[in-house]
A and B are shown apart, each in its own frame.
Chain A
Amino acid sequence: MLLKNIKVWVLMALIIGASTSCKDDDDDDNTPTPTNNPFKNYVILGTSDDDNDDDDIVIYGEKEAFVGYNKIWIVEKDDDGTVDDSFLEDQVTINPVMDMPMHSHSAPVEQPGTPDQNGARQAAVVFVMPTTAGDWYIDVTLTDDNDSETHRVKINSVVEPEETRTKSFYTPDSARYFVSLVEPSDPEVGINDYEVVVHERKTMMSWPAVNGLTMEIDPEMPTMGHGSPDNENPVETTNGHYVGKVNFTMTGYWKVNMVLKENGNDIKDDLFFDITF
């Protein structure tokens, strides 16, 4: 009731505000011009460096790229810094590549979706190692009706986070699984989403998502020897993602123990993620 009223008031205020300020705006077109950079809260992870092309592919992240599950935003910018119109229409695929002297390999990837309001396309990459042995690149392929072109974007740096966000193990059937922590990305006291994504390394270049697992979680504070109540075990959603809830009763160092099962059998019973906040 109160909320409804507030909405009415806000609406009225907007109408009044708009009617009084309309005169000044008559000359302008109706598209709002962004007064500030829509990407100011993001970090540039890398930019394509094609000498023969004025357009740049820019890859943004929420923070500096790290070993683990990274949400990234891909955008093609004209030389004036605005989003290239054709980018909104193109088909976009990406492929991460670790380029090492002896060999190169790929990494788990979630392909870009449709452009968001900033013209950026969200994707995700699990960097499985830091940029120490070699450099990470993301090959961005733009395809329209006529042709396709690939831009190689060098990721400036992929760091090892203070607490491991990706862990790998061999299943009893000798498959190599990578489990990456997606949430909590910003843990706090109370109820937190707990989300992991699981991939299998079939080959150095093929990292499909693993579906059909069941999981149990058990958070504990090792220093104190206690856990927390009412956690929800992650359940499968899509693309190898599993979502549950983890409860933290205080700040400090938490260890979230996990048991992973496939077809009802334990495939890993001593996996854990450290989460300190």
Chain B
Amino acid sequence: MNIVTKNAPHLRRPNATVVRMMRDVSIALTPLIVFAIYQHGVDALLILLAAVLSMVATEYVYYQIKDFMERKREAKSETEEKIRELNWQKKEKKKALKEKTQKAREDYEAFMKDYEQRMASLRETLKEENRAAKKSDNKSFRLANRSFTIYNFTIITSGLIYGLTLPDTIPLSKVIVGGVVGALLAKLVFGGMGQNIFNPAAFARVFVVLSFGAALSYEAFVDADAGATAMSVLNEQMFNAGVVDNYDYWMLFSGIGLPGSLGETSALLILVGGIYLAARRSFDIVVPITYIGTVFLLSLTVMFTQDLGFWFPAVHVLGGGLLFGAVFMATDPITSPVTRPGRIYFAFGLGVLTFLIRLFGNLPEGVVFAILIMNMFVPALDYAKWAKSRFTVRSVLVFSIVVVLAIVITNVGVYYVA
């Protein structure tokens, strides 16, 4: 028995791990996956598999290359150095051979006599050394691939979320391209888990929409009867009350038979997942509540100023990807601010941007764009000089003014457009 000293605290919260947090998100997504497969059949399964596997594979390959390069850059072992020198000598002697002098030939033969033997013994020791090194510090898969984060579910979760935001008709090749780009450009180039600025799933989705959107993403949905989402109908005609004739409230709520992306149609199942996450305290419920609340509030004011029915806010909350984005994407801790007020401002910004993009933008959906835009503001919201853990009188005042301004701007905009 040894007595060791450590700095306080000597206890850690049991069960508080990144793995648990990320696994919880995956578990919360399961009902949506099942629902997507139920509704869209094997297509959905293949898309999800392609999304997850493309992201996981990208990360795996990236870290294998990175680890390999790092190992190369690190101080080389003596044995490796000897092997290299031996090889170099052999090359030099061979070069000398070309001049066809007697001395060079003799030299070469003398060298080659025990070359093979020396080489073999060096190789053997190198192998031995590597084996010993592996035994000493790389005990398990987890440690051997320290930088590869599949074991803590982050990349699987990103892949699942990305897959669930895709429409069911998308070709698998485009899913894979999006997954690779999302994992690589949104996550890995920043330094991997915990360092990324943008939500990889949102980035991948936006990449797919911008690159292939016109060709495929919404093409199948333009026909209002066959497959238009409620949001794309509203994008055509902002105040088309007929939208609720096509989709009644139960349909919007349960998602059964509703066209749209794989995972974002069923409000019911998203809420189930959200409640699970909230009960496990794996996210801060304030974020989705503020986000959805902001969109609801803005659409409610528009409803009053434009004299619309209650269908307008209802469709805006239930109809598009808002619930899915609010529960699963906006709550990603890595790309959110760290203080509670900061997270509330963040979610409010998301709500305003989503609503503005939906009303005035070219695309029917604004959630992923809003998330990427607000991701850029996270460092500003976390700026040391003004980020506070609690609301102060001043911050509440400023925030209320911003809320009022947002409402006014939205309604003025709506007035001019309508």
A and B form one complex? no
